Structure 1
Amino acid sequence: MQRILITGANGFVGQILCNLLQETGHHVIALVGAKFPLHPHADQSIPCDIRDADALENAVLQAAPTHVVHLAAVTHVPTSFKDPFQTWQTNVIGSVNLLQALRNKAPEAFVLFVSSSEVYGDTFKQGIALDENSPCRPLNPYAASKLAAEAAFNEYFRQGQPGVIVRPFNHIGAQQSPDFVTASFARQIALIESGQQPPVLKVGNLVAERDFLDVQDVCRAYVSLLKLADHPENYPRCLNICSGEPRKIRTMLDTLLSLSSQQIEIVEDSERMRPSDIPSAFGDNSAIRQVSGWKPETDLRKTLATLLDYWRAQVKITQ
């Protein structure tokens, strides 16, 4: 049994990952915000703000982890434009605080840093599946801060801290914030079905293509990569987590609409358009397949059905 510390444990991915790790028999330690003192799927919860270096070092000492998954971050791109200071402070300084705490209190712990496919940025305009050697050209503060945090992790790796960086592509599922595209669609459909919103669904760019994954598949990838700690000399330091298949956002919306009996009008909303949006973004997953055997398994229609049912339940609660 491993002692696995999860930062950002109360987030969308963190809750699912904690549950999955508990089910597989690990001792899960959730690093949580002050507003969430207990985690429903953790053996231990430690309140801590990763921007507080001293508190984080004490948390690592208390947790005594064998493994760490670093999820805590500002992840919403529009928020990163509105509040770049908080984004850089959390995503970069918070990461350095964690690395230094591990160096001082758990230098043997294997750390998995969750970066983002957003770091590729402008390179996606090539219109091909990008691998881990593709140039990184961020187009927003969130992506830039993740790339800077990657540099910090690589420096600590060079100095001996064991670990790996992952770049997950768009992952979706129940409990995701409606700030993100498919959750926004599902929530609006649920509101329309319940009569709480007129039958008009506001959308951004539907022509763009993205590499979508079920969040459960992404969490399975994280669990599989934690096993790399047992093979310290035989793994790459950076791995894409992706399907390799671009899907139009319009296709995702059409699938959700097909799961509803409502007649819904689609209206483009200029406020939902990203200033740096790119036509197509998808990745090459050859490296992670070779290293761990991982591949996505969940049919996205099932994912979208689960997502819509989740928002139907949420809307019913608030009626």
Structure 2
Amino acid sequence: MLDFYKNKKVFITGHTGFKGSWLCEILTIAGADITGFSLLPNTDPSLFDIFNIKDKVNSINGDIRDLEKMKRVMCKFKPDIVFHLAAQPIVRESYKNPVYTFETNVMGTVNLLESIRNCESVRSVVNITTDKVYKNNEWDWGYRENEKLNGFDPYSNSKSCSELVTSSYNNSFFKHNSNVSLSTARAGNVIGGGDFSIDRIIPDCVRAIIKGEDIVLRNPYSIRPYQHVFEPLNAYLLIAQQQYDDKSIEGSYNVGPNEEGCITTGNLADMFCESWGTVNWINKAEINAVHEAEFLKLDCSKIKNIIGWHPKMNIDKAVKLTVEWTKAYFSGENIKKVSEEQIKAYFAGKNINKSSIKNRI
């Protein structure tokens, strides 16, 4: 599949973020010609800097709320494929800054699609949203792509709106008399090496360990679909590839783990602590905490049947691979080599669940 991307011109919004940096690294290995459009990294350290992405791609410092700048950059680059990852992605932050969240996640999507409408080179577009776009009924089965969209909090709702914007633009401008294939991908919670974001369980665990503090969980009983970051990135790449020449592939796709990957935050923390060794977590629920979904699961039958995508990695391996990368980074190993090894092992089609894990301190 990665051979398809050799010499393809790929435009990525949000290329300075966690997912975006891994996507740039994977596509660089594949030989793609990449232009990224994003704000500067908002964490220190950042995976973007660790990978030296700015030296590998045409990196543009831009805000997706700036329509004219995005149009200029895209029209000059003339991409074949577009991945839209830029967003305000944190639920709790969306309660603090709802206006910015909606401006970025809704009007940012409008601006991207308007830029594509004015760029005749584009053939394939994937807008990455979230599993939180659905009206959450807290039921025991997975949501399907035809379920009602109505996220509760400002972040989730802004992503629901991004889905509706995408559908409207597709129906109005791209579905007929256009070479553009346009899909959305609704991914579950991701983990992996190099995530330094706030309010995410694994980065919070790592920060506590590095500082010698207790690992504190504010909601250990909430259930989420957890998966390694390579899994959704593989799905995005497959969707973009297959719809490039087959417009019938376009649509909305859930991207989540198999049943065993839908676990509580406490279970995930247990697995992390066991893999890391000699650490534990404590339960410290916040008083008057903002609303967050307690139970969330995805039905991924559609992408499995149409695209042929299936998770390659179980949750145990996902945690161990994350710990492996993190220990390698903090112990000063050649993290670029470790990262490339992980990428090549995954995309080479090896049985990633049975490959050995090195003992790193």
The reply to whether TM is greater than 0.5 is yes
What is the aligned-residue RMSD (CA, Å)? 2.3
Does residue 24 of the first structure (1) align with residue 30 of the second (2)? yes
Whether contact under 8 Å (1:130, 1:282) holds in the other structure is: yes
Does residue 145 of the first structure (1) align with residue 165 of the second (2)? no
Q: Which amino acid aligns with 1:172?
A: I
Q: Distance in 2 between matches of 1:43 and 1:72?
A: 16
Distance 1:66 1:83, change over 3 A: same
Does residue 179 of the first structure (1) align with residue 195 of the second (2)? no
In structure 2, the partner of 1:302 is 317
Once the two structures are TM-superposed, the CA of residue 222 in structure 1 deviates from its matched residue by: 0.9
Whether contact under 8 Å (2:258, 2:311) holds in the other structure is: no
In structure 1, the partner of 2:232 is 218
Once the two structures are TM-superposed, the CA of residue 68 in structure 1 deviates from its matched residue by: 0.2
Q: Distance in 1 between matches of 2:254 and 2:170?
A: 18
Q: Deviations over 1:197-252 (max 9, x none)?
A: 24x22111111211111101111111111113334342241000011422122211
User: SS of the residue aligned with 1:240?
Assistant: strand
Once the two structures are TM-superposed, the CA of residue 276 in structure 1 deviates from its matched residue by: 2.3
Q: Deviations over 1:42-69 (max 9, x none)?
A: 4322222111111111111122111100
Whether contact under 8 Å (1:18, 1:28) holds in the other structure is: yes
Equivalent residue for 2:10, pick from 4, 11, 22:
4
Percentage identity across paired residues of the two chains: 24
In structure 2, the partner of 1:122 is 136
In the alignment, structure 2 segments of 5+ residues that lack a partner are: 1-6, 42-47, 175-179, 333-361
Distance 1:261 1:23, change over 3 A: closer
Q: TM-score, normalised by structure 2?
A: 0.79
Question: Equivalent residues in 2 for 1:94-105 (5 A)?
Answer: 94-105=108-119
Q: Deviations over 1:107-139 (max 9, x none)?
A: 64321000111111423x122111101122311
Once the two structures are TM-superposed, the CA of residue 21 in structure 1 deviates from its matched residue by: 1.5
Per mean C-alpha deviation after superposition, the further-off stretch among 288-297 and 33-42 is 33-42
In structure 1, the partner of 2:89 is 75
User: SS of the residue aligned with 2:283?
Assistant: strand
Q: Distance in 2 between matches of 1:227 and 1:116?
A: 20
In the alignment, structure 1 segments of 5+ residues that lack a partner are: none
Report the count of equivalent residues: 309
Whether contact under 8 Å (1:48, 1:59) holds in the other structure is: no
Q: Distance in 1 between matches of 2:33 and 2:306?
A: 25
Q: Distance in 1 between matches of 2:247 and 2:278?
A: 55
Q: Which amino acid aligns with 1:68?
A: V
Does residue 51 of the first structure (1) align with residue 51 of the second (2)? no
Distance 1:261 1:66, change over 3 A: closer
